[in-house]
Amino acid sequence: VVELNVMVEEPGKENIHNNAFYAEEKLLRSELQAMSDCNPLTARHWI
């Protein structure tokens, strides 16, 4: 299972309008690693 969180790009030369974002992926290899709650601030979801 992969956990996805939407992250905001830091302001800088590559993000001059301060509106960039990206999906951060985390591979969950066990049930112990997968223990987490929903996070509406990062639109956390699992695929």
Q: What is the pLDDT of residue 12?
A: 94
CA distances from 19 to 7, 22, 35, 44 (A): 11, 10, 30, 19
Total number of domains constituting the chain: 1
Per run of 10 residues, the mean pLDDT along the chain (length 47 residues) is 97 95 97 94 96
Q: 29 is in which domain, residue-wise?
A: 2-46
From the number of C-beta atoms within 10 Å of its C-beta (0-12, 13-18, 19+), residue 17 rates as: exposed
Q: What is the pLDDT of residue 38?
A: 93
Q: What is the pLDDT of residue 10?
A: 95
Q: What is the pLDDT of residue 17?
A: 96
Q: Is-contact 5 41, C-beta < 8 A?
A: no
Q: What is the pLDDT of residue 36?
A: 93
Q: What is the pLDDT of residue 33?
A: 93
